Amino acid sequence: MTTFQINGRDVTVSVEDDTPLLWVVRDELGLVGSKFGCGVAQCGACTMHLDGQPVRACVTPVSDVAGRKVTTIEGISGSVADAVRDAWVKLDVVQCGYCQSGQVMSAVALLAESPAPSDADIDTAMSGNICRCNTYQRIRTAIHDAATTLKG
Ligand code: FES
Ligand code: FES
């Protein structure tokens, strides 16, 4: 049994300690916005926030999140998340969409730490998020757009 907080609510799940967080969130809790891509921490499709930091949920054992706060794409909120969402829509970033939950979670984490990132900052922060539709340029532009919105 593991108890943790997800998107502001306390949950207790009865699974093996080494069950990946991604499986727990999707299969036990029914939150399917976070995607399974590679399963080996290489693509970023499963990115969630753990105490505000981006993690690869496919390789995070659920026991590691006991007593901690997990946020998924369904629960991300606040001015940074709003700015990122608005920029994504405005610039029509999404193509097939499969990677985009992870992209947004990484972008929000980046802007929360670094409100005015350079291209190099963006490339470094987003380098672990693969997009097979090659939306990288629009992602970078959208992050700059969100940063401008946040600056007011
Ligand atoms: S599914 Fe987790 S990094 Fe690819
Ligand atoms: S939008 Fe299709 S994989 Fe990124």
Atom of ligand 1 nearest to the CA of 57: 2
Q: Is 37 in the pocket of ligand 1 (CB under 6 A)?
A: yes
CA distances from residue 20 to 28, 37, 75, 97 in whole angstroms, order as listed: 11, 13, 19, 23
73-110 pLDDT tens trace: 999 999 999 999 999 999 999 999 999 999 999 999 99
Provide the angle, in degrees to the nearest 10, between the axes of the packed helices 79-90 and 136-151. Answer: 130
Instruction: For tokens 């709003």, name the residue.
Output: 82
Residue 152 confidence class, pLDDT cut points 50, 70, 90: confident
Q: Is 136 in the pocket of ligand 2 (CB under 6 A)?
A: no
**Which pair of tokens denotes residue 60?**
């995070």
Cα 142 to ligand 1 centroid, rounded to whole Å: 23
Mean pLDDT, rounded, for 36-54: 98
Q: Could you tell me which residues are beta bridge partners of residue 2?
A: 13
- CA 15 centroid distance within chain: 23
Q: Dihedral (C-alpha) 146, 148, 150, 152: value to the nearest 10 degrees?
A: -150
For the chain, domains (ranges, CATH) are 2-71 (3.10.20.30), 79-151 (1.10.150.120)
Atom of ligand 1 nearest to the CA of 130: 4
Cα 16 to ligand 2 centroid, rounded to whole Å: 32
